[in-house]
Structure 1
Amino acid sequence: MRALVLTQHFTPEVTAGRFRIEAFVEALVDRGHDVDVVCPVPNHPQGVIQPGYRGRPVIRRRVGGADVTYVWVTTSPRKTFVTRLGFYGSFAAAASTVGAIRRRPDVIVASSPPLPVGAAGAVLAVRHRRPWVLDARDLWPESAVALGELSDRRLIALAERLERRLYASATAVVTVNDAFRREIAARAPGEAVIEVIPNGTSPEWLEASAAEPDRDSLALPRDRFIWAYAGNIGLAHGLEFAVEAAAPLGESHLLLIIGEGPRRAAVERRAAALSGAIELRPLMPPARAAEHLRAADALFVSESQERTVASKLYDYCAVGRPVIAACRGELRRVVEEAGVGLTVPYGDPGALTAAVRRLGDDSALRERLCARGKEFARAHLREAQARRFADLVERVAAAADR
């Protein structure tokens, strides 16, 4: 079987979308299938094309058994509606062009958001007269509207029509949780095939939980309660209120923030006024991030959207540290039902401060949450989810040939 995969993020970028689709690609390759991946030249989250990928419109490389085509896109460190539209639109156009002239695939996979990737998948399905699978990791345009990225009513209406058409034209839709599945089902035709394949973690993150933390080697203080965040510092995460929560905790606590994103500069400005209470470190490879998270006492996840389950929850649980989740809706339900952490209302610095203090004062609670977290992580291994995805793709391709 030959699969053509379109994704806005892929190796070597460090982002949740990359790790999900990369696992799916690896599962297909492991079964002996030929996989072609089309993605932008790596530029996320800084908005700057990485060295080694500049100066050429198309770069082809072999990555993990798959043929990967990196295409040039317009990108910018300034994250505005116009620059995002240019980024998304330029990739959709390039992916459609490259995909149209590639050898005919047996099945096409498009991973969204953003929505134009799905549109490219639908176009190529028509071009090659083959089935296609939409991996809907988030609800667009709903998410973009909620985060203030999209406000023009005409554009919203246009995006909503495109969303429904993609759900209707896809042979199958995959999404990450039941809340998303219900929303997609409400917008898709009654006969639509919708399957939930959650995000997950990897054995490497679970192995990190066995390591003895070495704060000295990481230049972290031994004598302070460290609560840490690692990931995108973006619009959905509201880390500014975490900075406010850190202020009353004093010198006995340290908020460690690891990552990049459009809100990092704003977080840095607020943190500058709180000397010693907060430390920001740059984006780092996953293995190095796991060492930092394992060396912390508690891990912080923040999500403003009702239906989203932050993918970092699975990795947090895997490293054996208790979680504090500032959230609402689906993420709150998952954390509380699994018993892996404390939840507080999103945007409430007072409640967040209290939760950090509670974990710091109760070692038995920390140990109980850690144990449940590792159980939760073992039940959500990314490799197992990828095998389910490969099963679905194989069924879709086989059904088209009957």
Structure 2
Amino acid sequence: MPPVGENTSMTGTDRIAVVTQQYPPDKSGHASRMNDVTRNLAEEGWAVEVLAPPPCFPHGEFDRDWYRTRRTSAGDVRVQRLWAWQPTVADPGTLSRIAYYVTFALHAALWLTIRTRRYDAVLTTTPPISTGLAGLVTAVSGLPWVVDVRDLWIDASVSLGFISEGGVLERASRRFQRTVLHAADAIAVTTETLGEHLCTQYGEALSPKVFLLPNGVDVDRFESADAPDAADRPDEPLIVYVGNIGHAQNLDACIRAMGELEGDAELRLVGGGDTVPDLRETAESSDVSDAVTFAGPMPHEEIPSLLASADVGIAPLVDDDELAYAMPTKVYEYMGAGLPVVTTGRGEVERFIDSSNGGIHAESDVESIASAFDTLLADESYRERLGENGQAYVRSRYDRSAITETLHERLRQLADGGVTTAGDATDSAVAGNE
């Protein structure tokens, strides 16, 4: 009988636990990203076990489950579902959200405490920051630990009004985040701006740990999707939004912009989230319900075909300094499919559009968004040119298999006892952010 915590069914030289709040069939950009990251790590030779709660995102789209643990698989990746509280309404309250995050973090921490010897490394991904609790219990044993930071969750929560600025919850969250970042062996960030912000806010001592691991796209899968036959294409030009429909997206202005277009078009919102009810009211009050479709969540494997039938993809971030670091996954997917993109917001997303020449960055007001839509919909050759530019750009810089190679190399360095330096972090950065 093997010792407690050993697992003879896991094969491979390198064994890694990946702790993530969302994983397919959750429908979000984060779930999609972690699906690709874990699959590519498995191709690199890692025996990957994902720890995730029962699927429940977008909230309100799944029935609640009560099993304690459930083991499934996704190709070569093993998935261990650990019970956590699951919100079942579209816009859950603060207590329900906190219960969702904290119960999973506690369950994952207990799981890893008992089974630390099973793994050679641990990756925890945030948001939410609570996943760091699972990493802290392994750090005590000296197990190499990488924290994957994808956004400034605390800052965004304050900016969007979910937690009070300067309140007990914010102060406690920042102390916990500081502890996690300083205890981790390496910190992956999606943009250079995000890494700089973490070092400024939580200490320059973090700088040697930080390395760039941007969002990206499986370009081959999106590029190879078959475009629909002419008979199956929408009757009107199609503008699509794919992803979480939440408070950080400027979709209200995009819906209102449909009433300002020079011609007819359909805006199709694919996904679910907290603000869907409010946006339905916006469409009604703006008298554009006939031009706006709420399609609901869609399996990620169907997204490439959807984008192949579309004319424009949109990624409208709220114009807020607290979101200046953000680079939405959906932008890479639109460009991977050869689709021109309209974005709003500031910071990274604006620089990305400028560097790629794959779309139009508009101001966040209704008139500017409508003008960007009209410009693209009026000129098919212009749309094609921008689409080709964007596709070539993400293929050369943001293909997920190449990005995962960066993560693999850092994990191997840590597992072999290597020491991360600021120079190493710079050298391993993906070329797209040079």
What TM-score bracket applies, with the shorter chain setting the length? Answer: over 0.9
Partner AA of 1:205 in structure 2: F
Report deviation, 1:95: 0.7
Q: What residue number does 1:213 align with?
A: 228
Contact 2:227 2:305 in 1 (8 A): no
Contact 1:250 1:277 in 2 (8 A): no
In structure 1, distance between residues paired with 2:231 and 2:58: 29
Paired residue secondary structure (1:190) = helix
Report deviation, 1:189: 4.3
User: Which of 34, 47, 67 lines up with 2:78 in the alignment?
Assistant: 67
Structure 1, unaligned runs of 5 or more:
none
Report which stretch shifted further, 65-74 or 272-281.
Answer: 272-281
**1:303-334 C-alpha deviation (Å, 9 max, x unpaired):** 12211011100000011121111121111111
Partner AA of 2:42 in structure 1: V
In structure 2, distance between residues paired with 1:90 and 1:320: 41
Q: What residue number does 2:215 align with?
A: 199
Q: Compared with structure 1, are the counterparts of its residues 97 and 255 closer, same or farther at alpha carbon in structure 2 (3 Å cutoff)?
A: same
Contact 1:251 1:276 in 2 (8 A): no
Structure 2, unaligned runs of 5 or more:
1-13, 420-434
The count of aligned residue pairs is: 392
Q: What residue number does 1:256 align with?
A: 268
Summarize the alignment of residues 142-161 of structure 1 with structure 2, pairs less than 5 Å apart: 142-151=155-164, 153-161=167-175
In structure 2, distance between residues paired with 1:345 and 1:5: 38
Contact 2:26 2:55 in 1 (8 A): yes
Report which stretch shifted further, 238-247 or 249-258.
Answer: 249-258
Contact 1:38 1:99 in 2 (8 A): no
Please give the root-mean-square deviation of Cα atoms over the aligned residues, in Å.
Answer: 1.9
User: Which of 142, 147, 160 lines up with 1:129 in the alignment?
Assistant: 142
Residue 380 of structure 2 is aligned to residue 351 of structure 1? no
Report deviation, 1:228: 1.4
Summarize the alignment of residues 351-390 of structure 1 with structure 2, pairs less than 5 Å apart: 351-379=368-396, 380-390=398-408
Q: Compared with structure 1, are the counterparts of its residues 48 and 57 closer, same or farther at alpha carbon in structure 2 (3 Å cutoff)?
A: farther
Q: Compared with structure 1, are the counterparts of its residues 394 and 47 closer, same or farther at alpha carbon in structure 2 (3 Å cutoff)?
A: farther
Contact 2:29 2:244 in 1 (8 A): no
User: Which of 325, 330, 342 lines up with 2:360 in the alignment?
Assistant: 342
Partner AA of 1:245 in structure 2: A
**1:131-183 C-alpha deviation (Å, 9 max, x unpaired):** 21100011131122122222252211111122222111110000101110111
Paired residue secondary structure (1:399) = coil
Residue 325 of structure 2 is aligned to residue 307 of structure 1? yes
Residue 412 of structure 2 is aligned to residue 394 of structure 1? yes
Residue 351 of structure 2 is aligned to residue 333 of structure 1? yes
Contact 2:24 2:31 in 1 (8 A): yes
In structure 1, distance between residues paired with 2:37 and 2:265: 39
Report deviation, 1:64: 2.2
In structure 2, distance between residues paired with 1:32 and 1:269: 50
In structure 2, distance between residues paired with 1:50 and 1:35: 27
Q: What residue number does 1:244 align with?
A: 256
Q: Percent identity?
A: 26
Residue 110 of structure 2 is aligned to residue 79 of structure 1? no
Q: Compared with structure 1, are the counterparts of its residues 94 and 39 closer, same or farther at alpha carbon in structure 2 (3 Å cutoff)?
A: same
Q: What residue number does 2:237 align with?
A: 225
Report deviation, 1:387: 1.5
Contact 1:322 1:370 in 2 (8 A): yes
Q: Compared with structure 1, are the counterparts of its residues 188 and 332 closer, same or farther at alpha carbon in structure 2 (3 Å cutoff)?
A: same
User: Which of 23, 44, 61 lines up with 1:31 in the alignment?
Assistant: 44
Residue 300 of structure 2 is aligned to residue 286 of structure 1? yes
Q: Compared with structure 1, are the counterparts of its residues 275 and 6 closer, same or farther at alpha carbon in structure 2 (3 Å cutoff)?
A: closer
In structure 2, distance between residues paired with 1:43 and 1:216: 36
